[in-house]
Amino acid sequence: MEPPSRTVLVVDDDASIRFLCRVNLELDGWDVRDAGTIDDARRELADGRVAVTLLDAHIGTQSGLAFLDEMRRDHADVAVAMLTGSVGAGALDTARADAFIPKPFTLEQLRDTVRRLASRAAQTAG
């Protein structure tokens, strides 16, 4: 049986958020990929090795919530945490994300959420 993936995909149009997530998650032992656009995210997800995706609610002019629906259809095994600082609670209540990380977030929130989602995904797969 293949070991669980240690790969996290960070999808955010803000390069500083992607960098912050990358550095801190790599220090925590994760392989981190990042995408500044939804098209880039699709390419990163294509090989099936991503365990957890951190997805911004707004990626440029595109909707992260709409992309979440696509991910649930095409990559249902990938755990998703929404990164958000601007979407109202009502919209998030209807989203099918596994977790929410409010911006600004602490590094502890980031690492704990990724660990929890990866652990849950590994238990579901095993």
Q: Where are the domains of the chain?
A: 7-120
Q: Mean of the pLDDT values across residues 44-49?
A: 93
Q: Which residues make Cβ contacts (< 8 Å) with residue 37, sequence separation at least 6?
A: 13, 59, 60, 62
Which pLDDT belongs to residue 93? 58
Amino acid at 26: E
Residues of the chain above pLDDT 70, percent: 87
Which pLDDT belongs to residue 121? 75
Tokens 């500044």 sit at which residue? 36
Region of 72 (left: φ > 0; alpha: ψ -120 to 50; beta: rest) is alpha
Higher-confidence residue of 122 and 93: namely 122
CATH superfamily of 7-120: Response regulator (3.40.50.2300)
Q: Is 90 exposed, middle or buried (0-12, 13-18, 19+ CB in 10 A)?
A: exposed
Which pLDDT belongs to residue 1? 43
pLDDT one-digit tens code per residue, 60-116? 899 998 999 999 999 999 999 999 876 555 555 556 889 989 889 999 999 999 999
Distances (CA, A) of 16 to 9, 13, 20, 101: 15, 9, 6, 16
